[in-house]
Amino acid sequence: MTGIDVRKTVLEEINNVAPEVDLATVDPAADLREAIDIDSMDFLNLVTALHRRTSVEIPETDYPKLVTISGMIAYLEAKLG
């Protein structure tokens, strides 16, 4: 999976969780839970979807690394690297 594929996957899954949000307006460094107004259950669903799509195990201790779009992409790229 290339970096472009990882970014596309992350954005698709965020869109699945919050389809009403225009992701082009979201700062990649912003905390997603605040930027797109998702709750902890939506965040968990997002992490689960990313695991399903990438087969990357994401332990709960790593969740703080996934609070931004750029963080999610970097985390997945590193794990898939």
Give the pLDDT confidence score for residue 1 in this predicted structure. Answer: 84
Single out the residue of 74, 78, 65 nearest to residue 10, CA to CA. 74
What pTM did the predictor assign?
Answer: 0.93
What CATH code is carried by the domain that includes residue 66?
1.10.1200.10
How many domains does the chain contain in total?
1
Domain of 63? Answer: 3-80
Contact 58, 50 (CB under 8 A): yes
What are the tens digits of pLDDT across the range 25-66?
Answer: 999 999 999 999 999 999 999 999 999 999 999 999 999 999
Q: Please count the other Cβ atoms lying within 10 Å of the Cβ belonging to residue 14.
A: 22
**CA-derived radius of gyration, the chain:** 11
